[in-house]
């Protein structure tokens, strides 16, 4: 997902993933919803 604009929401989601609070699948789903991908 290179080239997408980083927002505070995206950084927060990434932080939750790194902290083990959400799965990679959930992180991908959130990003896809946010940017209207797939």
pLDDT digits (tens, 9 = 90+) for 9-27: 999 999 999 999 999 999 9
User: Is the separation of the CB atoms in 24 and 17 below 8 Å?
Assistant: yes
Are 31 and 14 in contact, with CB atoms under 8 Å apart?
Answer: no
- Cα separation, 35 vs 15, in Å, equals 18
35 Cβ neighbours under 8 A, 6+ residues apart? 1, 4
| Percentage of the chain modeled with pLDDT above 70 | 92
The whole-model pTM stands at 0.77
pLDDT of 36 > 60? The answer is yes
Structure tokens at 17: 């993933």
């Amino acid at each position: 997902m290179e080239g997408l604009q980083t927002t505070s929401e995206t950084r927060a989601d990434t932080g939750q993933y790194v902290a083990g609070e959400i799965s990679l699948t959930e992180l991908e789903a959130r990003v896809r919803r946010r940017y209207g991908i797939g």
